[in-house]
Structure 1
């Protein structure tokens, strides 16, 4: 249940359709919302068969990813404060059936709108349908960009881009992340990641430490990300 001014303000900011609801609908939504907290490594959503509902990320960080038949993971997108996880409610959308996993990366607090209630609200209010469609379009755009990168961009450029993105996420030039975790994000093998990181280190772009990757030359890494490398490892 949501009752505090801060929580209601969060709903107003996060749900683009909030102002289109009548007072009764707002009160009902406040009463059925479930507050949930997750720890790093926990799963928020594991497959298309279980449709928990619409997760609103209050604080924290999660990633949505898929797993290939061979067991390789690739991150589709990440969610942060005030983002909405639509794929955890994908069962309300017709003709969309796929296995997607949502894993918590940092301590995360959420508000969950259960599927039946969200479905009913969507049937009653056109603004909710538009919100859902716009959100799905945005997420699929993210997915298509990732697939385009995986298929048509050389691995060195993808890895450089990932390291730059991770430094923004961590707000640091020292990245506390394992080679295995990077491989999971990028849909690659750990050995491939390690080999390319060592190449970056030999070029003076980064420094590899135990459990840490330190960016030494950000400008060169940015050049690499844009057009510098050509190794399709």
Structure 2
């Protein structure tokens, strides 16, 4: 099962048979339900996840408990912030939550350190992933800093549609507010504005993006 998952979603890691065999020997596969917290902010990283299916979200949380969505972890990816925290033996600066029921290949951090020293191909995979997530973070910063709130909200909705492959998003105004670091009242007002402009259709418990 792990072998097929690696072949399908992590082709760069299986170009070296020895690397693939070592990963299979030290990892396990788990299934996690939506809402499962896989990494707490301030906690030490114990495992490095390789996402096979589903979707996870990574947040930054402030001292008052407010959260801002930083990036998504999609099939074929891992959490680069977990890797960074592991490499400096520090606590995590972010929180990661399963958004959609997911299958994950889990590797203990001490084993990852061995893999990283032994196989440059692993480090190439992490470096490429870091570049991807860095670009996503730059986009988030640009939207947060330079975009109007309604533009920011619409971009968020469009990204959710692409990731979930569904134009109907089953979510709440409060959940969107949490992920965008806003208030429910502001999000509700902006959603109504977008609906009046013909960009979305608001429904009970869902939003259709046109």
Q: TM-score range with shorter-chain normalisation? A: 0.7 to 0.9
Q: Is 1:101 paired with 2:101? A: no
Residues 170/28 of structure 1: CA separation in 2 closer, same or farther (3 Å cut): closer
What is the aligned partner in structure 1 of residue 79 from structure 2? Answer: 85
More off after superposition, 118-127 vs 201-210? 201-210
1:149 Cα deviation after fit: 1.1
1:160 to 135, 154, 158: 154
User: Which residues of structure 1 form unaligned runs of 5+?
Assistant: 219-233
Q: TM-score if structure 2 supplies the norm length? A: 0.88
What is the aligned partner in structure 2 of residue 176 from structure 1? Answer: 170
Alignment partners' CA distance in 2, 1:53 and 1:196: 39
1:61 Cα deviation after fit: 1.0
1:20 Cα deviation after fit: 3.3
1:147 Cα deviation after fit: 1.4
Alignment of 1:1-233 (within 5 A): 4=1, 7-12=2-7, 13-14=9-10, 16-20=12-16, 22=18, 25-94=19-88, 98-215=92-209, 218=210
SS of residue paired to 2:137: helix
Alignment partners' CA distance in 2, 1:35 and 1:175: 28
Query: 1:60-119, CA deviations, whole angstroms, 9 ceiling, x for partnerless residues?
Result: 111111112332211111122222223233333339765211101111110011111110
Query: 1:102-155, CA deviations, whole angstroms, 9 ceiling, x for partnerless residues?
Result: 101111110011111110111122222222222223222222221121111111
Instruction: Please tell me the root mean square deviation across aligned C-alpha atoms, in Å.
Output: 2.2
1:168 Cα deviation after fit: 2.6
User: Which residues of structure 2 form unaligned runs of 5+?
Assistant: none
**How many residue pairs end up in the alignment?**
209
